[in-house]
Amino acid sequence: MTTAGRVAICPGSFDPLTLGHVDLVRRAAALFERIVIGVLVNEQKQPLLPAHDRVALARAVFVDEPRIEVETFGGLLVDFARQRGARVIVRGLRSAADFDYESPMALMNRRLHGELETVFLVPSPDVHAISSRLVKEIWRLGGDVSGLVPPPVEAHLRALRATK
Ligand code: PNS
């Protein structure tokens, strides 16, 4: 594998980071030397958590894993990948619906940057049903999100609920 192929980007909104994301990042870290978690800053989306909280929580979760870095990015993912010297994007694939969402993005990203490959990893069955969307819905309706998100995210969401 080339040097550039050893850095992989795990991009996403991470609003919030779930145990599904943690599973994906750890699987990626077993395959690549360095992982850059790219937290999307998108002014048009109304996230539950601001970007700095999403970054801080991801850093807290992977604090003992120096090969895993966390950064924000805006604009095109391909530009972020270029800046970071990455040739690989890693995304999780849970279902055919995920494939329908992911494959046009992978094709467009390849069109924009011909040397960038998207690699899809299948998550553990334990985290298969978890999505940020469902976690947010459960949290908004007062449900228990333990076992769906890592402990720092759970604590943050609990504190956030106390302020609502
Ligand atoms: O966690 P998400 O919201 O499913 O992640 C989507 C993400 C961040 C991977 C995607 O929206 C993205 O790459 N956005 C950056 C803008 C971009 O490059 N758009 C063109 C994609 S073809």
Closest ligand 1 atom to 76 CA: 18
**pLDDT reported for residue 164:** 76
Atom of ligand 1 nearest to the CA of 105: 22
15, 17, 40, 135: which to mutate for ligand 1, most atoms within 8 A of CB? Answer: 40
Considering the entire predicted model, what is its pTM? 0.95
CB atoms within 10 A of CB 107: 11
Pocket test for ligand 1, best of 13, 42, 109, 110 (most atoms within 8 A of CB): 13
Q: Mean pLDDT for each 10-residue chunk of the chain (164 residues)? A: 76 98 98 98 88 98 98 97 96 96 98 96 96 97 97 97 86
State which ligand 1 atom lies nearest to the alpha carbon of 79: 18
Q: Give the closest residue to 102 by CA, choosing from 118, 114, 82.
A: 118
Pick the residue whose CA is nearest to atom 21 on ligand 1: 105
Phi-psi region of 150 (alpha: psi -120 to 50; beta: other; left: phi over 0): beta
- As a whole number, the mean pLDDT across the chain is 95
Tell whether ligand 1 has an atom less than 6 A from the beta carbon of residue 11: yes
Cβ neighbours around 158 below 10 Å, total: 12
